[in-house]
Amino acid sequence: MELNYSLLFYLKKPKNYTSGETPVYMRFTVDGIPRECATTRTADPEKWCSKTGRENGKTESSKSLNFHLDDLQQKVHSTHAQMVREDNPITAMGLRDKFLGRNIPQKIRQLLEIFRLHNRQMEELIGKEFEENTLKGYRTCLLHLTAFIKKKHKSDDLVITDTQLLISFIKTNVSSKYKIIDDETLNRIDIPPFSQFSRF
């Protein structure tokens, strides 16, 4: 199973820190958006290895800490796998909250809502991973799509239930009406599982 998230363990020194052990935090990142939470464990900064996210040393305390972090990492992986099986959108906040056992209300996914969130996330990455013209194209596409849904379906948005429904919509409506994606290009696209597409 392909991972679409990253997990980092790091030390977060409290304000007015002078010396001693510091709290170990974990950072979940999906599509460049991070969320964090505490592990309830502490580590010695002098023994901490930022590259591995573990404490160096063979003492019992170091072994115990590293074993605990390994266990947390495996639990995060299992949580992610469960979300994929359940076809839940994969976000940093969603993955973190699911891992922590917080109740995540099932939300109806809508096409334009996902599109708008995608554009907001892309806007934050302008100059880093995307160019302004790329975002401009997506905004134009969103405007056309919004107008079309209102005219064709008399609705402010469309509920998306699976990938095939989405592709069928694009082929029969968006592609032919607005020439956003031509049929030849669309047929060459390798469509990922819906759980990956809907990670926004």
Enumerate the domain spans of the chain: 6-100, 111-197
CA dist 85 and 1 (Å) reads: 11
CA dist 67 and 60 (Å) reads: 10
Q: Give this prediction's pTM.
A: 0.53
The set of long-range contacts for 79-87, using a CB threshold of 8 Å and a minimum separation of 24, is 80/3, 80/5, 81/1, 83/195, 84/1, 84/193, 84/195, 87/194, 87/195, 87/198
Give pLDDT tens digits for 140-173: 888 888 888 888 777 788 776 555 555 555 555 5
Give pLDDT tens digits for 30-70: 888 899 999 999 999 999 999 999 999 899 999 999 999 99
pLDDT of 157: 80
pLDDT of 155: 79
Q: Are 169 and 152 in contact (CB under 8 A)?
A: no
